[in-house]
Amino acid sequence: MSTHDPHPSLLACIDLETTGLDEQSGLVLEVAAKIVTNDPSPVDDGISLVVAQHARASSIFPVSPRRGRMNEYVTDMHAESGLSREVGQATLFIDEVEACRRVPRVAHWRVVVSAVL
């Protein structure tokens, strides 16, 4: 019996960047997903959806809702990684991410996950 698997299991790696860990007041800043093999080699480039936090043009609220929600550590981390700048330029809103309008790109992969607990 060969130990080489011609059809390796695929894993979905999900990353969620937020304004903090408080689920009551935190906001989602980025949702990313990448499909990898079990060794783990990337299968493709994956996706990264940066979520706009500024008010929509139709909104009566001109102030960014993320202002004041991040502590100093999180503020520095997102500034250093460039995520804060990307959020300021983002055009995708959280309701669009929740509706999965841009996720079908990874949906075509058949992800098989086996884990030992």
Superfamily classification of domain 10-107: Ribonuclease H-like superfamily/Ribonuclease H (3.30.420.10)
**Contact between residue 106 and residue 56 where contact means Cβ atoms under 8 Å apart:** no
CA gap 19, 65 in Å, rounded: 10
In the chain, what are the domain boundaries? Answer: 10-107
Residues 1-42: tens digit of each pLDDT:
445 656 568 888 889 999 888 888 788 999 988 888 888 888
Residues 65-104: tens digit of each pLDDT:
565 788 889 989 999 999 999 998 998 888 888 776 555 4
Q: 75: buried, middle or exposed (CB in 10 Å: 19+, 13-18, 0-12)?
A: middle
